[in-house]
């Protein structure tokens, strides 16, 4: 037997030795910080289910983006909460809409910050679904594509560095790519929410973004959590349609698919450490059951280890401080 000649513990003896052989790195440069920006707000408005996360005015969003940049976080992801909603979600493609205004303000104040704009209609529709709803209650895939394409162009013209369609309509990446190219915005990258699951872990987000569906659920367009091969197919479809980066969402319950999609596509891959994952950890910390710094850094490192090049997380600023 190889023991006692082979002793893996030799390389675990000190912090320096462990660092020398560490296989996975986590740095602030790997992180994206998501933010909720609300029209007409002049203050921070705490999100009850997500301690430490606020709905922000544009001025506060600018401050948050600047703070993230100072911590070494290269990118922010913007979600908008409009002043009013309608059946089609027209606030999404309004050139003076909340995301467009926030994008311009952030890029003016912090030009080096990468602004990623979430592209979906759910925050803007009165019914809370991610697309146009037909009279029979079904989300109309192809009618929605036209509105998503229009929104993508508006966001890109406002200065968005990356457009991130999250609606899970079939063909959305291709529609967005075509629209951007036709409008002379062909250099704008697309981050596809390629494997976005109909997850129970989105609850706190829906409070923050005021996007809970008024009826039914999103299982007819978001993915079944039981399906892995389908997630790979979805990622490949997005790549074929022109996605520059693919995503798995949520992250921690889907580490197997982060690894599988990374191995099978070799594409840049993002993973979204979603609101429910954040809220669970915060609740455990508040009860004294977990050490926050150790648990957060372990979770984010494991998402990286699974194969994510980019980790989108509400923990991003805290993690960046600890890593520095």
Indicate the DSSP class of residue 134.
P
Does residue 36 have a pLDDT over 90? yes
**Cβ-count burial of 287 within 10 angstroms (0-12 exposed, 13-18 middle, 19+ buried)?**
exposed
Instruction: Judge whether 15 lies within some domain.
Output: no
Does a cis peptide bond (omega within 30 degrees of 0) precede residue 124?
no
Instruction: Judge whether 49 lies within some domain.
Output: yes
Nearest to 125 by CA among 98, 85, 83, 152: 85
Nearest to 172 by CA among 136, 124, 222: 222
The DSSP H or E segment spanning 276 is helix 275-286
What is the distance between the alpha carbons of residues 69 and 63, in angstroms, rounded to a whole number? 10
Instruction: Judge whether 102 lies within some domain.
Output: yes
Instruction: Judge whether 18 lies within some domain.
Output: no
Instruction: Give the range of the structural domain holding residue 55, as residue numbers without chain letter.
Output: 25-323
Please say if 85 is a catalytic residue. no
What is the three-class DSSP state of 32? Answer: strand
Q: What is the pLDDT of residues 121-144, one digit of tens each?
A: 999 999 999 999 999 999 999 999
Task: Identify the pLDDT of residue 209.
Answer: 85
The distance from CA 198 to its chain's CA centroid, rounded to whole angstroms, is: 15
What is the distance between the alpha carbons of residues 24 and 207, in angstroms, rounded to a whole number? 34
Instruction: Judge whether 201 lies within some domain.
Output: yes
Please say if 262 is a catalytic residue. no
The single residue of 85, 107, 249, 262 carrying the catalytic annotation is: 249
Task: Identify the pLDDT of residue 199.
Answer: 97
Contact 31, 76 (CB under 8 A): no
Confidence of residue 253 (pLDDT cuts 50, 70, 90): very high
Phi-psi label, residue 307: left if phi above 0, alpha if psi -120 to 50, beta otherwise: left
Q: How many domains does the chain have?
A: 1
The single residue of 196, 262, 282, 317 carrying the catalytic annotation is: 196
Q: What is the pLDDT of residues 44-71, one digit of tens each?
A: 999 999 999 999 999 999 999 999 999 9
Confidence of residue 2 (pLDDT cuts 50, 70, 90): confident
Give residue for tokens 């037997």: 1
In order of 38, 96, 113, the CA distances from 92 in angstroms are 13, 10, 22
Q: What is the pLDDT of residues 266-282, one digit of tens each?
A: 999 999 999 999 999 99
Q: What is the pLDDT of residues 161-220, one digit of tens each?
A: 999 999 999 999 999 999 999 999 999 999 999 999 999 999 999 889 888 888 889 999
Confidence of residue 230 (pLDDT cuts 50, 70, 90): very high
CATH number of domain containing 264: 3.20.20.70
Instruction: Judge whether 93 lies within some domain.
Output: yes
Share of the chain above pLDDT 90, in %: 94
Give residue for tokens 């994008």: 103
Share of the chain above pLDDT 70, in %: 100
Does residue 1 have a pLDDT over 80? no
- Mean pLDDT taken over the chain: 96
Instruction: Judge whether 107 lies within some domain.
Output: yes
What is the distance between the alpha carbons of residues 133 and 129, in angstroms, rounded to a whole number? 8
Task: Identify the pLDDT of residue 22.
Answer: 97
Instruction: Judge whether 187 lies within some domain.
Output: yes
User: What tokens were used for 30?
Assistant: 């790997």
């Amino acid at each position: 037997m190889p023991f006692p000649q082979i002793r893996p513990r030799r390389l675990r003896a000190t912090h320096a030795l462990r660092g020398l052989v560490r296989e996975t790195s986590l740095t602030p440069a790997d992180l994206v910080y998501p933010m909720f920006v609300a029209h007409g707000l002049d203050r921070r408005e705490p999100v009850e289910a997500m301690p430490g996360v606020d709905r922000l005015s544009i001025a506060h969003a600018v401050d948050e983006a600047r703070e993230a940049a100072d911590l070494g976080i290269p990118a922010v992801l913007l979600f908008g909460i409009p002043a009013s909603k309608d059946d089609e979600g027209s606030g999404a493609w309004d050139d003076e809409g909340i995301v467009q205004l926030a994008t311009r303000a952030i890029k003016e104040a912090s030009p080096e910050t990468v602004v990623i704009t979430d592209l979906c209609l759910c925050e803007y529709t009165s019914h809370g679904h991610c697309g146009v709803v037909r009279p029979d209650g079904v989300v109309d895939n192809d009618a929605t594509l036209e509105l998503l394409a229009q929104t993508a162009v508006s966001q890109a013209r406002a200065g968005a560095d990356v457009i991130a369609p999250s609606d899970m309509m079939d063909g959305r990446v291709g529609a967005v790519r075509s629209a951007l190219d036709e409008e002379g915005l062909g250099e704008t990258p697309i981050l596809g929410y390629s494997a976005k699951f109909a997850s129970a872990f989105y609850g706190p987000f829906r409070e923050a973004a005021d996007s809970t569906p008024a009826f039914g659920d999103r299982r007819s367009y978001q993915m079944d959590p039981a399906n892995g091969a389908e997630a790979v197919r979805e990622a490949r479809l997005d790549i074929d349609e022109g996605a520059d980066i693919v995503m798995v969402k949520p992250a921690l319950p889907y580490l197997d698919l982060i690894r599988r999609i990374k191995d099978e596509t070799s594409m840049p891959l993002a993973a979204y450490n979603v609101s429910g994952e954040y809220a669970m950890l915060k609740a455990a910390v508040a009860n004294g059951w977990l050490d926050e710094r150790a648990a957060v850094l372990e979770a984010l490192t494991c998402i990286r280890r699974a194969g994510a090049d980019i980790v989108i997380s509400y923990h991003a600023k805290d993690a960046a401080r600890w890593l520095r």
